[in-house]
Each structure stands twice: as C-alpha cells, then as structure tokens.
C-alpha cells in the first residue's frame, strides 16, 4: 500500500522567537514538496507565532495532558494547544517516558484526548541499548506499542514513531536490516490489533535521521517518514530530509 511520507521535526527544548525565520524557511521548502507531509513540533511558546509563518508545513506540539483542565501546574491541555494553532502532537516520546515517568496507559490516554480535540498524534515507542543487546528489541517494542495504543486507533489520525533510544542524538543508527525488521514487527503488531487499517498507518523512524541517511532509511518498505531531532532545527539540514522523502536529491 502506498502511504504518503510524513516528516516531522521535533525541536525539543530549543527555539526562541528568533528561530521563526527557520520555521518560515522550512515551510517554504515543504511547499516545494507537496507530496510529503511536513511538520514541526515546537516548544509551546512558539506554536502561535509559528502558525503565521509555517508555509507548507503544519505546526505541532511536543506533548499534551490527558485531562481537559484542572490542577496540573505546568501542563497544557489539548484544547489549549489546538487554540494556539497546533494540529498534531507527539505523545510518549522516550524523554517523557524516562524523565517524567510516563506509562503506556498515560500515553494511550493522551492520544485519546488529542484525537477528541481533532489533533493528529505521533505515538513514540522504542528500546534501550540493554534491550537491543539482549536480543529482545522487537518483542519489547511491539509490546510497548500494543500497551500504548489507544482505543479506536486508525491511520487517519495516528502515526507511530520508532525511536531506538540509544540512537537519539548520538549519530548512531541501527543497521538498515535492523530498522526493516523492527518496522515490519511493528506493522505486524498493529495488524494484530487493528487489522487491515495497519496497512495504511505510517510508521516513522526516529533515531538520528539526517540528510546523509534519510534516503536509504525511507527506501525501507515499512519506513513511512521520520521524526527528526537536531537535523530539523535549520532549513539547511532539514530540507534534504524532506527532499529525500519525495525521492529527490536536494
């Protein structure tokens, strides 16, 4: 099945107002490749301002809370994010799971809340180096996916991002064979839960994708795009990844 490539930049805790020029430049490059869906998940402080300069990209958030309101100091509801202009959100990023102790149940609840507010969701799963070295990566990550998958999961609002945690920001990546094996395992896990709709759900690769390896990674059968960290902070570095998703050398 042909799936439209999805390439999303996760700026993490980076970006001040001066970075809006890069948002505009990335949006302009995205507009040159309309066959690719391009987004930037930005710090909440930039979402509203970035919407005015997003060009051909969408603007997303990096997290959300599962409750609509209440005594949750420092958190943002999906309604707040949508009002600011986010149309997608990441949930379950490894840094949230590790640093904030988020559980699979938390991730599923956040995904459902985002869906109810009309936001697209990128749900992250991945393994540590210990799990990889023990030879249990596919089983562990597939189980994490199924435990994090919300009720009503469907390809029209949900995408999965596979993060080999040990590869994030390190420049290291699994072999292409290992990436293919993991993405195929995740597709099979999805099929066990949602049936035929699994064929249409996009599975992104999220571990140190850059302009040099993007084309090879996205040529893998079950790799439908990327969740990109450091290489998404500037148009100069992100543009070749967008082009690679469109089968173009930038």
Q: Tell me the C-alpha distance between 12 and 41, whole Å.
A: 8
Judge whether 163 counts as a catalytic residue. yes
* pLDDT the model gives residue 44: 98
| SS3 labels along 101-155 | CCCHHHHHHHHHHHHHCCCEEEEEECCCHHHHHCCCHHHHHHHHHHHHCCCCCCC
**Residue 230 annotated in ligand binding:** yes
Judge whether 72 counts as a catalytic residue. no
Mean pLDDT value across the chain: 96
| CA of residue 191 relative to chain centroid, distance | 20
**Residue 54 annotated in ligand binding:** no
**Residue 220 pLDDT greater than 90, yes or no:** yes
**Residue 97 pLDDT greater than 80, yes or no:** yes
**Residue 56 pLDDT greater than 90, yes or no:** yes
**Residue 12 annotated in ligand binding:** yes
- Domain coordinates in residue numbering, the chain: 6-245
**Residue 200 annotated in ligand binding:** no
| Residue tagged active-site, from 22, 37, 95, 163 | 163
102 against 129, higher pLDDT:
102
**Residue 199 annotated in ligand binding:** no
State percent of the chain over pLDDT 70: 99
* pLDDT the model gives residue 250: 64
Please give the class, per CATH, of domain 6-245. alpha beta
What pTM was estimated for this model as a whole? 0.96
Q: Tell me the C-alpha distance between 66 and 105, whole Å.
A: 10
Segment 127-171, tens digit of pLDDT? 998 999 999 999 999 999 999 999 999 999 999 999 999 887 777
| Residue tagged active-site, from 22, 37, 65, 93 | 93
User: Mean per-residue pLDDT for 232-242?
Assistant: 98
User: Mean per-residue pLDDT for 50-57?
Assistant: 97
In sequence order, the β-bridge partners of residue 161 are 124, 204
Q: Tell me the C-alpha distance between 50 and 39, whole Å.
A: 11
């Amino acid at each position: 099945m042909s799936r439209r490539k999805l390439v999303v930049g996760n700026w993490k805790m980076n970006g001040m107002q001066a970075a809006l020029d890069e948002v505009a430049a990335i949006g302009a490059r995205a507009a040159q490749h309309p066959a690719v869906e391009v987004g930037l998940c930005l710090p909440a402080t930039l979402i509203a301002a970035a919407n005015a300069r997003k060009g051909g990209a969408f603007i997303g958030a990096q997290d959300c809370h599962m409750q609509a309101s209440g005594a949750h100091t420092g958190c943002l509801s999906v309604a707040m994010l949508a009002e600011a202009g986010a149309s997608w959100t990441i949930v379950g990023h490894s840094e949230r799971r590790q640093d904030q102790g988020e559980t699979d149940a938390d991730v599923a609840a956040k995904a459902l809340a985002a869906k109810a507010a009309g936001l697209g969701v990128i749900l992250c799963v991945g393994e540590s180096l210990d799990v990889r070295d023990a030879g249990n990566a596919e089983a562990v990550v597939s189980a994490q996916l199924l435990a994090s998958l919300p009720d009503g999961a469907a390809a029209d609002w949900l995408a999965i991002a596979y993060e080999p945690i040990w590869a994030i920001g390190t420049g290291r990546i699994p072999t292409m064979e290992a990436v293919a094996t993991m993405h195929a395992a995740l597709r099979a896990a999805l099929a066990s839960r949602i049936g035929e709709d699994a064929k249409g759900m996009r599975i992104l690769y999220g571990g140190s994708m850059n302009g040099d390896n993007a084309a090879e990674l996205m040529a893998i059968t079950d790799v439908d795009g990327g969740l990109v960290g450091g290489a998404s902070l500037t148009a100069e570095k992100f543009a070749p990844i967008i082009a690679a998703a469109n089968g173009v050398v930038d």
